[in-house]
C-alpha cells in the first residue's frame, strides 16, 4: 500500500512538472503546495493534489506548474522543510497552509505569498490570504436574507465552548450587537431546559391550560369549537423572536432544532437558519423541521465538481479540496492581470471574482463570498 502511494505521488509530481525544463525560456507560473501527503491525513493531501490537477486541466495553460510538498499535519519541522524546498524552486506563491494554527510559522517567510483554505479570518494577514467560507460571509448572507423576509426579532444562538469568544468577536465585528444572542450548553439534557426558558415554554403551556378551563363547562357550540381547537395545541402564546440563526452543526445542531420544536416554536412564524452546511444529507434525518435555511456555495457547481472528480479519480473529494481548486483560479487571475506575482497586494481586486464556490470580493483587504441561500425541503436542497 505504501509503495502504491509513493508511485502515485511520483506520477503526480511528474505530471505537474514534466514540461518545466522545456519551458525554462518561457514566462511560467510556479505555484507551491503545502499539504499532508503522508501520515494520518494523507487522504486530505491526495484530494487536494487531485483537485489541483482538475484545475490545471480546466485552465489549459501549459505555463502553469504545481510543486507539491509534504508539510505534514501539525508538524513544524516538515512545514519548514517543505517551504524551504519550495523557495529553492524560485516559487513566489504557495497554496497552503491548510490549518490556521500554522499561520504563525509561515509569516516569517515574508518573501512568499500564501493562499490558505482556512475560514478563520477573511482579512489579509501580512503575507497570508484565507479563502475559506468564513463566518463573516455566512452571517452577512443570513442577515440580508432575514431582512428580506421582513423579520424584525432575530436571535443568534451558539454553544458555550472554546469557540464562544471567537463567535462573539465576529458578531461585534459585523456590528450585530443589536441582535439578541443566546449561548447554550451542548449537553442535550441541559440544553432542553435552557431552551424552555428561552421560549417561555412553561408559561405558554400554563396559559393554554387556563384558556381550556374557560370553555370546559360550557355547552354552547362556539365554546365547544374553541375547546376542540385548543385541544390540538401544545402551548398558547408566541415566542419573543421571529427568526433564529444557529451557529452550530452536526448532532449539536440537531439537538437545538429538536428542542425548539419540542418547546412548540411555530415554524410558520419563526424562520430557522443555520451555518456550516456543505449539503450534508444527514440533516434530512431531522424531520421535525419543515424548512431549514442556510448560506452556502453554489450547489450546482458543487455537484459538477464532485462528478468530475469522481469520473477522473474514482473517489469523492474532501470538502477542503474545492477551496484549493478556487485558490489556483484566483492565483491564475492575479498572475494574468498583473503579469507577475510580487506581493499580497496583487490580490486587492476592485471587482468581484467568480470562482467555483461562488463570487469573491476583496474589499478592504478582506476576502468575502457572496453566498446563495438554500433550504432543506422534502429531503432535497433547494436554492431559495
Q: Which of the four pLDDT bands, split at 50, 70 and 90, describes residue 15?
A: low
Query: 355: Cβ–Cβ under 8 A, 6 or more apart, which residues?
Result: 326, 329, 330
Closest C-alpha to 31, from 49, 46, 10, 5: 49
Q: What percent of the chain has pLDDT over 70?
A: 90
315 shares a domain with 193 = no
Q: How far apart are CA 256 and CA 191, in angstroms?
A: 7
141 and 276 belong to one structural domain: yes
* Residue 257 predicted with pLDDT over 80: yes
Q: How many independent structural domains does the chain possess?
A: 2
Please indicate, yes or no, whether residues 124 and 151 belong to a single structural domain of this protein: no
Domain-embedded: residue 85:
yes
How confident is the model at residue 7, as a pLDDT? Answer: 43
**144 in a structural domain:** yes
177 and 272, same structural domain?
yes
Mean pLDDT of 299-311: 90
Assigned C-alpha cell, 344: 499580497
Looking at the fold, whether 172 and 281 belong to one and the same domain comes out as: yes
State pLDDT tens for residues 164-213: 999 999 999 898 878 999 999 989 889 999 999 999 999 999 998 888 88
Q: Among 5-9, 83-87, 359-363, 368-372, where is mean pLDDT lowest? A: 5-9
Angle at 53 between CA 48 and CA 56, to 5 degrees: 125
For residue 11, the enclosing domain spans 2-132+299-368
Query: 284 with 157, same domain?
Result: yes
Q: Quick one: pLDDT at residue 247?
A: 95
**Overall average pLDDT of the 99-112 stretch:** 92
Q: For the ranges 102-111, 175-184, 267-276, 286-295, which has the lowest average pLDDT?
A: 286-295
Q: d(Cα 194, Cα 192) in Å, to the nearest integer?
A: 5
Predicted confidence (pLDDT) at residue 16 exceeds the cutoff of 60: no
- The DSSP 8-state label assigned to residue 286 in this structure reads -
User: Do 149 and 244 belong to one domain?
Assistant: yes
Q: Packing angle between helix 319-338 and helix 42-59, nearest 10 degrees?
A: 40
| 288 shares a domain with 155 | yes
Asked if residue 269 and residue 143 are part of one domain, the reply reads yes
Q: 354 versus 264: which is more confidently predicted?
A: 264
pLDDT at 18 over 90: no
- Of residues 192 and 288, which shows the higher confidence score? 192
Q: Using 50, 70 and 90 to split pLDDT, how confident is the model at 56?
A: very high
Question: Model confidence over 21-50: pLDDT tens digits?
Answer: 444 434 889 999 999 999 999 999 999 999
- What is the DSSP secondary-structure string of 289-352? -S-EEEEES-HHHHHHHHHHHHHHHSSPPPHHHHHHHHHHHHHHHHHHHHSS--SGGGG--SS-
Specify if 70 maps to a domain. yes
Same domain for 282 and 158: yes
**Same domain assignment for residues 303 and 332:** yes
Q: Are residues 180 and 277 in the same domain?
A: yes
230 Ramachandran zone, left/alpha/beta (phi>0; psi -120 to 50): alpha
Tens digit of pLDDT for each residue in 139-156?
A: 999 999 999 999 999 999
Poorest-pLDDT segment among 127-141, 208-222, 310-324: 208-222
Q: What is the pLDDT of residues 234-252, one digit of tens each?
A: 898 899 999 999 999 888 8
Please report whether residue 255 resides in a domain: yes
* CATH code, 350: 3.40.50.2300
Amino acid at each position: 500500500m505504501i509503495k502504491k502511494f509513493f508511485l502515485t505521488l511520483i506520477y503526480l509530481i511528474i505530471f505537474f512538472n514534466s514540461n518545466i525544463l522545456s519551458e525554462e525560456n518561457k514566462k511560467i507560473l510556479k505555484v507551491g503546495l503545502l499539504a499532508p501527503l503522508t501520515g494520518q491525513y494523507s487522504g486530505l493531501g491526495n484530494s487536494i493534489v487531485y483537485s489541483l490537477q482538475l484545475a490545471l486541466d480546466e485552465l489549459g495553460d501549459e505555463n502553469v506548474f504545481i510543486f507539491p510538498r509534504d508539510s505534514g499535519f501539525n508538524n513544524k519541522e516538515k512545514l519548514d522543510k517543505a517551504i524551504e524546498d519550495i523557495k529553492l524552486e524560485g516559487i513566489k506563491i504557495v497554496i497552503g497552509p491548510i490549518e490556521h494554527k500554522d499561520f504563525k510559522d509561515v509569516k516569517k517567510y515574508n518573501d512568499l505569498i500564501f493562499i490558505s483554505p482556512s475560514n478563520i479570518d477573511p482579512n489579509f494577514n501580512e503575507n497570508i490570504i484565507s479563502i475559506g467560507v468564513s463566518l463573516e460571509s455566512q452571517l452577512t448572507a443570513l442577515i440580508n436574507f432575514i431582512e428580506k423576509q421582513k423579520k424584525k426579532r432575530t436571535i443568534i444562538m451558539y454553544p458555550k465552548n472554546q469557540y464562544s469568544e471567537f463567535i462573539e468577536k465576529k458578531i461585534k465585528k459585523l456590528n450585530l450587537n443589536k441582535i439578541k444572542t443566546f449561548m447554550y450548553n451542548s449537553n442535550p439534557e441541559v440544553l432542553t431546559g435552557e431552551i424552555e426558558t428561552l421560549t417561555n415554554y412553561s408559561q405558554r403551556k400554563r396559559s393554554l391550560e387556563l384558556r381550556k378551563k374557560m370553555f370546559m363547562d360550557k355547552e354552547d357550540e362556539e365554546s365547544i369549537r374553541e375547546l376542540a381547537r385548543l385541544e390540538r395545541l401544545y402551548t398558547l402564546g408566541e415566542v419573543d423572536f421571529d427568526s433564529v440563526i444557529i451557529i452550530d452543526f452536526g448532532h449539536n445542531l440537531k439537538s437545538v432544532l429538536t428542542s425548539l420544536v419540542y418547546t412548540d416554536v411555530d415554524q410558520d412564524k419563526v424562520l430557522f437558519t443555520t451555518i456550516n452546511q456543505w449539503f450534508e444529507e444527514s440533516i434530512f434525518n431531522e424531520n421535525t423541521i419543515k424548512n431549514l435555511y442556510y448560506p452556502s456555495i453554489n450547489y450546482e457547481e458543487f455537484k459538477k465538481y464532485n462528478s468530475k472528480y469522481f469520473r477522473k479519480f474514482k473517489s469523492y473529494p474532501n470538502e477542503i479540496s474545492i477551496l484549493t481548486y478556487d485558490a489556483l483560479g484566483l492565483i491564475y487571475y492575479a498572475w494574468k492581470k498583473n503579469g507577475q506575482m510580487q506581493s499580497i497586494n496583487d490580490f486587492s481586486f476592485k471587482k468581484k471574482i467568480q470562482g467555483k464556490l461562488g463570487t469573491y470580493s476583496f474589499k478592504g483587504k478582506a476576502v468575502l463570498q457572496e453566498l446563495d441561500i438554500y433550504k432543506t425541503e422534502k429531503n432535497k436542497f433547494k436554492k431559495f
